[in-house]
Amino acid sequence: VVIALLNSLSGLAAAAAGFVIANNVLIVAGCLVGASGVILTVIMCKAMNRTLGNVLFSGFGATDAGGGTAMEGELKPISAEDTYYVLEAASSVVVVPGYGMAVAQAQHVVKELGDLLEVNGTEIRFAIHPVAGRMPGHMNVLLAEADVSYEQLVEMDNINPTMPAVDVAVVIGANDVVNPAAETDTASPIYGMPIIKAHEAKTVICLKRGKGTGFSGLENQLFLLPHTRMLYGDAKDSIQAVVSEFKNA
């Protein structure tokens, strides 16, 4: 959000310089950059259910973020082999990509896994949250790079009504954008933030490097639900292991 705002201000500065030197091209270009930066800032703030002032001055994102109701439950790990069995038996799978997929550069193996699932007769879709990653469209760009079909990409508002009918939701490196606390815990700092309702799927498999928190510094209630399993490790390596299980079956 701050980067988008600074981009907007740089455009306004360019427009002001254009007025000073009487350069119409610089004025127009600066106004376009300024306007696009403002629009992007508003989109991201809306997607996080935050005002710009709240994002800039509230300390949201600090690693010591507190608040929220104490959670109960335990993290239940799953192996690549067991993940294969779960996915192989599913008729519908929704992949929720996040920043962890970008860090691991796992988009190509995700595409390969999606192809194998389709061959297996499974419906595969990708649920895109507006602020997944580091800016709007980040996940779209990575998946397009891996040649994932645009028709398989589904926006948050369109995927959420179908989640209760989904057999398996595979969450790859996403954290806050799938945290049920945003809907259920009024004491949580992210309460009211629109999320992808991965927790409504029949089974959830979350890929994470470890037990760390997301950008907000909050523990994710999704990880502790009875139907959630944790596949630990680098996302690319973990998915590659699942792909190998499919190929060796």
Q: Tell me whether residue 185 is one of the annotated catalytic residues.
A: no
Please give the distance of CA 218 from its chain centroid, rounded to a whole number.
15
| pTM for this entry | 0.78
* The pLDDT value given to residue 56: 80
* CA max distance for the chain: 70
Kindly name the residue from 82, 115, 167, 176 that is annotated as catalytic: 176
- What CA–CA distance (Å, rounded) separates 113 from 170? 11
* The pLDDT value given to residue 140: 92
Give me the average pLDDT of each 10-residue run along the chain (249 residues).
Answer: 88 94 94 93 80 73 50 84 96 95 94 96 94 83 94 94 96 90 83 91 92 64 93 94 92
Residue 19 CB partners (closer than 8 Å, separation 6+)? 27
With b for 16 or more beta-carbon neighbours within 10 A and e for fewer, the 105-136 pattern comes to: ebbbbbbbbbebbeebebebbbbbbbbbbebb
How do strand 203-208 and strand 153-155 relate by DSSP bridges? unpaired
Measured from the Cβ of residue 18, the count of other Cβ atoms closer than 10 Å reads 18
Determine the angle formed by the axes of helices 24-47 and 2-21, rounding to 10 degrees.
Answer: 160
* The pLDDT value given to residue 211: 65
* The pLDDT value given to residue 63: 44
